[in-house]
Amino acid sequence: MRTYGIILKGIDAVNFPTRMSKNAQSLVKKLCRENPTERYGIGKEGLREIERHVWFEGFDWVGLRKRVLKAPYERQVTSQSDLRHFDEYPEETEEPEDETSGWDESF
């Protein structure tokens, strides 16, 4: 319920971690506006508006489009079943209840 309350207050009410830069906070806030017409990337400039944000300064957008960027970090994996980089969670045994409120009938 706490998360739900924060969502209702809107992005401007979010307290970002202090280790998150002001530029990163600014970008997140501009991408998460409640009104879609106020969100970054929606205006006349489209994606260019996002690309020019100061947080992306120095980012190689051409390399991204050409798919030639090297991953900043690559984990070593020994096989397709190598799960050592994943946290362990207990297996879920309980089935969720069926949703029968009918909210999705018009879809």
Q: Does the residue 99 lie in any domain?
A: no
Residues 13, 94: Cα–Cα separation, whole Å? 36
Token couple for 30:
């501009």
Full pLDDT tens readout for the chain, 107 residues? 778 888 888 898 899 999 999 999 999 999 999 899 999 999 899 999 999 999 999 999 999 999 999 998 999 999 999 999 999 988 888 887 888 888 888 87
Is residue 16 situated within a structural domain?
A: yes
- Evaluate whether residue 6 is within a structural domain: yes
Q: 42 near 36, Cβ under 8 Å?
A: yes
Model's pTM, two decimal places? 0.64
Q: In the chain, how many domains are there?
A: 1
| Closest CA relative to residue 15, chosen from 2, 44, 38 | 2
Residue-number span of the structural domain to which 28 is assigned? 2-66
> Is residue 92 one of the residues assigned to a domain?
no
